[in-house]
Structure 1
Amino acid sequence: MRLKTARIAPLADAEFGEEQKDALGPMLETGRVLNIFRTLARAPKALKAFLAWGNYVLSRRNGLSAREREIVILRTGFLCRSGYEWTQHAEIGLRSGLTEAEVERLKAGADAPGWSAADQALIRASDELHQDQFITDATWAALGEHFDDKQRMDVVFTAGQYTQVSMMLNTFGVQLDPGQTLDPDLKGF
């Protein structure tokens, strides 16, 4: 975690006004509102727009499978040194078909042994987007061996969304939710 305390405190339930309640909608019905959403609820109009785009990225409308999407999200979160993002999506990645070994191996990147060619292309694309905001011709072609144009667009959309999310989490100092433990490789960032 980059910050030991929040710069922008998450709202408590008692602080939710009508705009926050409208933006948080179904989350309030489940009784579980994560710190990221409690923090973003301080800007309810932005939160509502953010959720609309985020719902696309995390839905079946995204052409990537849940496992492929989580490879991009986790690699992006790790490169951004976002402890909160990594912690949330490590759990989601496991539910989406990644193994614990694969989640751990994502930290090492595309050249770590054991990745398929498609997985390597996703990881390389995530790395290039992080480093240069551009996918090289070689990596674009490698993605094209496994993914259609819409799926390749979704790689960019997913990496871009989770770069933004990581920027917000890191800068606002969003702290882990109760019961979560920070990955030791992300301590001190």
Structure 2
Amino acid sequence: MSKLLTAGAVVLSLIVGPALAQERFPPVPPDKYDDAQKKAAEEFLAARKRPVYGPFARLMHSPEVMTVARQMGDHLRFKSGVGTTLSELVILVTAREWSQDYEWDVHAPIALKEGIKAEIVEAIRDGRRPAGMSDDEEICYDFSIELHRNKRVSDATYARAEKRFGKKGVVDLIGINGYYSLLAMAMNTDRMPISPEGKKLPRFPE
């Protein structure tokens, strides 16, 4: 009987464990900030016009890392050499490759508003190569997918990217992939939850 109870407990833990998983490094309450965190929070508010939120609130455990990450994001999201529409496409590819629910939940609506077609967003969500992409979208998609899956970029894909966006654009394209991978790694490690109304990405076999 005891063996059956033990086995049942193990099965139950496997079922409910992920749902009850708690964050590993949740946000530091602002009233508990040390001097470095207070300074980082003030700089964040000045730059982003809102208090520290989302992944940045988790990175605040190392305020220096949070500040550098925020500064990278200020450029890569809003001022990159590929433009804000294509950067959102790259962010979605990154969120999908990392199965990062919060990153996807936040940026999918932004991508749609920036002009990425709904069919393209849906295909990326499902892990399919989107049909009907523009030339620029194809370049950014192929470049990003190769980086994430192959850990390098082919000569043909690199040549297309450099011809279209120049070396600065290529570096920014690498930066967007890397920056949002950093945020995804932090959120996945933390087990950061999405909003109650948010939808999780489908999980693919390892």
Compute the TM-score of the two structures, normalised by the length of structure 2. Answer: 0.77
Q: What is the SS of the residue equivalent to 1:148?
A: helix
Distance 1:21 1:10 in 2: 13
Could you tell me which amino acid in structure 2 is paired with residue 80 of structure 1?
W
Q: C-alpha displacement at 1:102, in angstroms?
A: 2.8
| 1:72-83 aligned within 5 A | 72-83=90-101
Give yes or no for contact 1:2–1:173 (8 Å, CA) kept in 2: no
Structure 1 residues 94 and 17: alpha-carbon distance in aligned structure 2, compared to 1, 3 A threshold: farther
Q: Which protein is richer in helix relative to its size?
A: 2
| 1:161-172 aligned within 5 A | 161-172=179-190
How much identity, in percent, do the aligned residues show? 25
Q: C-alpha displacement at 1:72, in angstroms?
A: 0.8
| 1:47-58 aligned within 5 A | 47-58=66-77
Give yes or no for contact 1:129–1:135 (8 Å, CA) kept in 2: yes
The list of structure 1 runs, each at least 4 consecutive aligned residues, that deviate by more than 3 angstroms after superposition, is 1-4, 26-33, 108-111, 186-189
Could you tell me which amino acid in structure 2 is paired with residue 124 of structure 1?
D
Q: Structure with the greater relative contact order (CA < 8 A, sep ≥ 6): 1 or 2?
A: 1
Runs of 5+ consecutive residues of structure 2 not aligned to the other structure: 1-17
Q: What is the SS of the residue equivalent to 1:94?
A: helix
Give yes or no for contact 2:123–2:129 (8 Å, CA) kept in 1: no
28-37 or 135-144: which moved more?
A: 28-37
Could you tell me which amino acid in structure 1 is paired with residue 78 of structure 2?
S
What residue is the counterpart of 1:44 in the other structure? 63
Q: What CA RMSD, in Å, does the superposition of the two structures yield over aligned residues?
A: 2.8
Distance 2:110 2:39 in 1: 25
Query: Of the two, which has the highest radius of gyration?
Result: 2
Structure 1 residues 51 and 3: alpha-carbon distance in aligned structure 2, compared to 1, 3 A threshold: farther
Runs of 5+ consecutive residues of structure 1 not aligned to the other structure: none
Distance 1:5 1:186 in 2: 20
Give yes or no for contact 1:3–1:170 (8 Å, CA) kept in 2: no
Compute the TM-score of the two structures, normalised by the length of structure 1. Answer: 0.83
